[in-house]
Amino acid sequence: MPALAQRLANVKVSASVAMGAKARELAAQGHKVISLTTGEPDFDTPAHAIEAAHQAALKGDTKYPPQGGTAAMKAAVQRKFKRDNGLDYAMDEILITNGGKQAIFNALMATVDPGDEVVIPAPYWISYGDMAKVAGGVPVTISCPQNNGFKLRPEDLEAAITPKTKWVMLNFPNNPTGAACSRAEMKALADVLMRHPHVWVMTDDMYEHLVYDGFEFCTIAEVEPRLKSRTLTVNGASKTYAMTGWRIGFCGGPKELIAAMFNMQGQATSGVSSIGQAAAAAALDGPQDLVRERAAEYRERRNLVVDMLNEAPGIACHRPEGAFYVFPNIAGCLGKTSKGGAKIETDTDFAMALLSEAHVAVVQGAAYGMSPYIRISYATDMASLREACGRIQEFCRGLS
């Protein structure tokens, strides 16, 4: 067999995908598995967005779309950035992508040369580092410990930046921790970045509208307008509007960067689903009450999960500001043995034993660059969350 490319030698299959697959295998065997692995809203796409897609298809909007996005979608994104973030982007500073992930991939592929460093706060979304590697870059991780609320400290950011740094990546509210930065915290990071004009800044704002208890979201180019000329602001319809399967992402940035990303996208996928763009434009421009209502439901789910996990022996769970994840510390469970005889030495051991014995699927913190933790997604119904957390409590009580 001919050889495969070396660029994938150090790129792993996403742990959340792998654990989800194991959960489906157990379910296929007849077990009642509750999967808390996937970052996917369990709500329906708003009806007016579906209707907009239907009408677009009926009127024949089913041909190849413009490579960088339809005029209607780009205009809707332009209005969204102005309305929600106080950011003014021209039409040639906006790109529509196949999910937010492609925006990030396009940017890294368009800018990173071999050996360039990509600074990534940890815990991090699994794909950041792997995409940097595929682009030929070197991921440089910064630990954001729980005693700082899983947030990036300015002094740690300063220490991580070198002459080789090409990008600093920010993701607040964060996957996997749910941590979010206040305006003052974001300004402190911006002050560091202002001292390093050779560095691009990427902010993944996918969980922008999922914040709780009166927390106010902010994005870095809004907080420090002088950074806007080298910041890529990434967002999408997936989390806010429960449109994961529609695959609609978007971003705003300096036109030279957007042009390079446009070129990259042309070699990879070309344009984005025309009817998907019609749906996303309707979601962005339509009533936003549903977004706030769903955020209120997520808050109730978060509170249930945090409270129940903190009652499980050996687990300590931080209460995050946003997203739909919690990242509990399981240090108190290590060095023990499960009822089924599994030795729990790592968070991976914990996740595997929990799945095989309690039939609850979570993802080990090691996959996100920090142990000993697990990631739990509470983007599912309250009954399933209550049952799953009850099983976790019982599993922990059985450790000895």
For residue range 118-134, list pLDDT tens digits in order. 999 999 999 999 999 99
- Mean per-residue pLDDT for 11-29? 80
Q: What is the DSSP letter of 356?
A: I
213 shares a domain with 344: no
Mean pLDDT, residues 324-339 taken together: 98
pLDDT score of 16 more than 80: no
Give me the CATH number covering residue 94: 3.40.640.10
pLDDT at residue 10, rounded to an integer: 80
pLDDT of residue 28: 86
How far from 273 is each of 97, 261, 296, CA to CA, in Å? 9, 18, 31
Q: Is the pLDDT of residue 7 over 80?
A: yes
pLDDT of residue 99: 97
Domain boundary among 285, 318, 352: 285
Looking at residue 329, the DSSP 8-state letter turns out to be B
Confidence at residue 26, expressed as pLDDT on a 0 to 100 scale: 83
pLDDT in tens, 93-117: 999 999 999 999 999 999 999 999 9
pLDDT over 90 at 17, yes or no: no
Q: Domain count of the chain?
A: 2
Residue 73 CA to residue 243 CA, distance in Å, equals: 15
Q: Provide the residue type at 96 as one letter.
A: I
Q: What does pLDDT average to over the chain?
A: 96
**Residue 14 pLDDT greater than 80, yes or no:** no
Helices within the chain (DSSP H only):
15-28, 47-58, 71-85, 99-111, 127-134, 154-160, 183-194, 220-223, 255-268, 274-285, 289-309, 347-353, 382-397
* Whether residues 264 and 353 fall in one domain: no
In this structure, the chain runs to a length of 400
Range of the domain at 277: 47-285
Specify whether 53 is located in the same domain as 40: no
| Domain-ending residue, one of 240, 263, 285 | 285
Instruction: Specify the 3-state DSSP secondary structure of 132.
Output: helix
**Which tokens belong to 73?**
């979608």
> Looking at the domain assignment, is residue 75 inside a domain?
yes
Angstrom distance (rounded) from CA 375 to CA 36 = 8
> What local confidence, expressed as pLDDT, does residue 306 receive?
98
Q: How far apart are CA 65 and CA 281, in angstroms?
A: 14
Q: Would 341 be classed as within a structural domain? A: yes
One domain, residues 31 and 145: no
- Spatial separation of the C-alpha atoms in residues 15 and 365, rounded to whole Å: 10
Cα gap 187→170, rounded to integer Å: 13
Rounded Cα–Cα distance for residues 360 and 376 (Å) = 10
Tell me the per-residue pLDDT of 25-65, one tens digit each, with 9 for 90 and over: 888 888 899 999 988 999 999 999 999 999 999 999 999 99
Token pair recorded at residue 104: 């990030």
pLDDT of 246 above 90: yes
Give 353's strand partners. none
Residues 305 and 278 both lie in one domain: no
pTM of the model: 0.95
Q: Please indicate whether residue 92 or residue 16 has the higher confidence score (pLDDT).
A: 92
Residue 383 has pLDDT above 80, yes or no: yes
CATH number of the domain encompassing residue 363: 3.90.1150.10
The tokens describing 174, both together, are 């964060």
Give the pair of three-digit tokens for residue 162: 């070198």
Together in a domain, 123 and 256: yes
Res 168 pLDDT > 80: yes
Q: Is 37 left (phi over 0), alpha (psi -120 to 50) or beta?
A: alpha
Confidence bin at 229 (pLDDT 50/70/90): very high
Kindly give the interhelix angle for 71-85 and 274-285, rounded to the nearest 10 degrees: 30
| One domain for residues 34 and 90 | no
Check whether residue 295 and residue 379 sit in a common domain: yes
In a domain, residue 208? The reply is yes
Q: Is residue 62 part of a domain?
A: yes
pLDDT confidence tier of residue 232, bands split at 50, 70 and 90: very high
Q: Is residue 1 part of a domain?
A: no
Domain C-terminal end among 285, 318, 337: 285
Same domain, 37 and 51: no
79 and 100 in a common domain? yes
Q: Is the pLDDT of residue 314 over 80?
A: yes
Domain for residue 26, yes or no? Answer: yes
From the CA atom positions of the chain, what is the Rg in Å?
Answer: 21
Residue 15 has pLDDT above 80, yes or no: no
279 and 294 both lie in a single domain:
no
Q: For residues 213 and 147, state if they share a domain.
A: yes
